[in-house]
Amino acid sequence: MGSSVFATLVELGEIGRLSKSMKKLSKELKGTDKYKNEQYCAKLKASNERSLALIKAAMDVVVAIGLLQLSPKKITPRVTGAFGFITSLISCYQLLPSAPKSKTP
């Protein structure tokens, strides 16, 4: 449970850091299309990955609370199982290889 809580905090911090750098880069690219900039797209992709990791870590906290029976009235075994299943699906998705980048001359 502690690991999931700290993972959630780390992901929140990283998303905040990425958000600040994206805003700064967005101001620098004010006159151009920011989605055509490689650096901006890389930061956006990293932000999306961190957001998914944050959701997974938060759901892992709920699973841990359910397994430890810290709140048996609100987090029933059914809820624990559903959240565990969803976090497993997220983990499988994160393990998938990324799509190959098409190279256009």
**pLDDT per position as a tens digit, 49-83:** 999 999 999 999 999 999 999 988 999 999 999 99
Flag whether pLDDT at 105 surpasses 60. no
Do 82 and 59 contact (CB within 8 A), yes or no?
Answer: no
Return the closest-CA partner of residue 4 out of 55, 77, 50, 69. Answer: 55
In the predicted model, is pLDDT for residue 102 greater than 70? Answer: no
Domain ranges of the chain: 2-95
The residues, any chain, with a CB within 8 Å of residue 59's CB and separated by 6 or more, are 83, 86, 87, 90
Number of alpha carbons in the 13 Å side-chain half-sphere of residue 50: 18
Segment 79-104 shows an average pLDDT of 88
Tens digits of residue pLDDT in 32-42: 888 888 888 89
pTM for the whole thing?
0.83
Q: Fill in the amino acid letter for 101.
A: K
Query: How many residues in the chain?
Result: 105
